Amino acid sequence: MIDWTRIAQLQQEVGADDFAEVVELFLGEAEEVSQRLAETAEPARLAADLHFLKGSALTLGFTALAELCRDAEEQVAQNRQGKVLTAIRSCHSASRQAFLAGYRTGSRGRRSVLPKGRTEPRSHHW
């Protein structure tokens, strides 16, 4: 579900402070897009949102979410998105929880990217 190697690589590339900002931005925007997926039926909007979410998920190591988005992009192009959008919302939630839990507990020897004393990134959407 989460590519911890990719996360460590990105954190090393941008540094811990900038990585925390990337995480905060991604989680907030991904939440907004996930909500929008449930509310829109316009194929062009769905395709754009799925493409954005796929790219962002790949960047941050949310591999399962990125794969579902890729599949959904193909289905939207054929006008048969069906249940895949529900699966994406569920996977987004599970991936987010796994990511935050992994950093809270320091899994795989990594330290938290969240500022000291904060248990979640800042956002009014969660």
DSSP state of 115: P
Please give the model's pTM, rounded to 2 decimal places: 0.76
Question: Domain of 87?
Answer: 4-107
CATH code at position 44: 1.20.120
DSSP state of 61: T
Q: How does pLDDT run along the chain (126 residues), one tens digit per residue?
A: 899 999 989 999 998 889 989 998 999 999 999 888 888 778 889 899 999 999 999 999 999 999 999 999 988 888 876 677 888 989 999 999 999 888 754 444 444 444 344 444 444 333
Q: Does 124 map to a domain? A: no
DSSP state of 118: -
Give how many domains the chain has, as a whole number.
1
Number of H helices, E strands in the chain: 5, 0
Q: Does 117 map to a domain? A: no
Cα dihedral 115, 118, 119, 122, rounded to 10, equals -90
